[in-house]
Amino acid sequence: MASLKEIRARIASVASTQKITSAMKMVSAAKLKKAESVTLNFLPYKNKLSEALSNYLGSLEGEVSIPLAEHREVKKVALMAFSSSSGLCGVYNSSICKLFKQVYDEYLESLGAENVVVFLVGKKINDYAKKFGIKVEKQYAPLAEQMSYDIATEISDMMTDLFLTHKVDRVELVFNHFKNAGVQVPSREVVLPLKTDTLPEARSFDYIVEPNKEEFINQLVPNVIRTVFYSIMLDTLTAEHGARMTAMHIASDNADHLSQELKMQYNKARQNVITNELIDIVGGAEALSD
C-alpha cells in the first residue's frame, strides 16, 4: 500500500488537474455559445440566398449555363479536411482523421495520388497526413485562430478558381458536423459542382434581371458557394468547442471520482497506521507489566 505522503501528493495532483479541466470546460462552453449564436444568425442568410437562386432557376424556361454547376468526368479532385490544432477534445480529431483517410484512399484507388489535391485546416490533420506520406498542397491555420467570413471567401474563391479553370473536377470537404455538445458526426460533402437540384423547392416567380440572366446567375452562384463554405466552417468550429467542452466535463467528473477514491484510500491507510501504533503501545505496556 502507498504511504500517506504519496497518497496526499496524488490527491493534490488530481485536485490541480480538476481545476484545469473545469476552467477549460467553462472556456469551451463560452466559446460554444458564441459559435452557436453566429451559426444560428448566419443560417437564415444562407438559406435565403440558396432559395433565391432556386426560385430564379425554377422560373426560367429552357437550359441555362452555370459553369460552377457543370458536372463532368472526375479526373482530378480537391479534398479539404478540417481538424483542430490542439487536443483534449475527445475523439473529435481521431474520427475526422479516420474519415479523411477513408475518402483519400477511395480517390487514390480510382484516380491516383497525383490527381488528389489535398488542402488541410488544423495541425492534427496535417500531422496525420505526414504520418502516411500524403502530399499536402496547402495547409491553413486552425479555424479557432482565424475564423471569419473573409477567410471562408478566400478559400471558397480559390476552390472556385480551381474548378472553373478545370484544374479539378470536384471539390469535397471532410468535417465534423455539430449535432449537439455531446455528438459530432464526421461528414463529407461535395460543394463543387454545385448541386442545383438539392436547393430548396422552387416557387414560381416572374423575375426581371439586368444585364442578362447568365451574368446574374453567375454572379449569384459564387456567393451561394461562399455561404456554403462559411456554414461548413462554422459547423466544424462549433463541433470542436462542443467536443472539448464535453471532454473536459467528463475529465472533471473522473477527477472528482478519483479524488474520492484516493481520500478513502488515504483514510484507510491512516487508520491502519493508527491501529498499528495502538498495537505497538499495548504490546509495549504488556511487556512492561510482565
pLDDT tens per residue, range 237-265: 888 888 888 888 888 888 888 888 888 88
Query: Which grid coordinates belong to 53?
Result: 437562386
pLDDT tier at 200 (50, 70, 90 boundaries)?
Answer: very low
Range in 56-60, 153-157, 203-207 the model is least confident about: 203-207
CA angle 37, 38, 42 (to 5 degrees): 120
CA-only gyration radius of the chain, Å:
29
170 contacts: CB under 8 Å, gap ≥ 6:
74, 77, 78, 190, 192, 193
pLDDT digits (tens, 9 = 90+) for 43-98: 888 888 887 777 777 666 666 677 888 888 999 999 999 988 887 888 888 999 99
In degrees and rounded to multiples of 5, residue 240 shows phi and psi of: -65, -45
pLDDT digits (tens, 9 = 90+) for 112-141: 989 999 999 988 999 899 999 989 898 887
143 contacts: CB under 8 Å, gap ≥ 6:
82, 121, 122, 233, 236, 237, 240
pTM metric for this prediction: 0.81
Cα(206)–Cα(218) distance, integer angstroms:
19
**β-strand pairing of 77-82 with 116-121:** parallel
135 contacts: CB under 8 Å, gap ≥ 6:
113, 118
The rounded mean pLDDT for the chain is 83
In the prediction, which pLDDT does 160 show?
Answer: 93
pLDDT tier at 198 (50, 70, 90 boundaries)?
Answer: very low
Is 3.40.1380.10 the CATH number for 26-246? yes
pLDDT tier at 31 (50, 70, 90 boundaries)?
Answer: confident
Q: How far is CA 107 from CA 170, 174, 190, 195, 282, in A?
A: 11, 13, 13, 20, 80
Greatest mean pLDDT among 142-156, 189-203, 242-256, 262-276 lies in 242-256
**Domain boundaries, given as residue ranges, for the chain:** 26-246
8 A C-beta contact, residue 125 and residue 81 = yes
Cα-Cα-Cα-Cα dihedral of 87, 88, 91, 92, to 10°?
-60
**H runs (alpha helix) in the chain:** 4-59, 92-111, 123-131, 143-146, 149-164, 213-289
Is the pLDDT assigned to residue 199 strictly greater than 60?
no
In the prediction, which pLDDT does 203 show?
Answer: 54
In the prediction, which pLDDT does 67 show?
Answer: 82
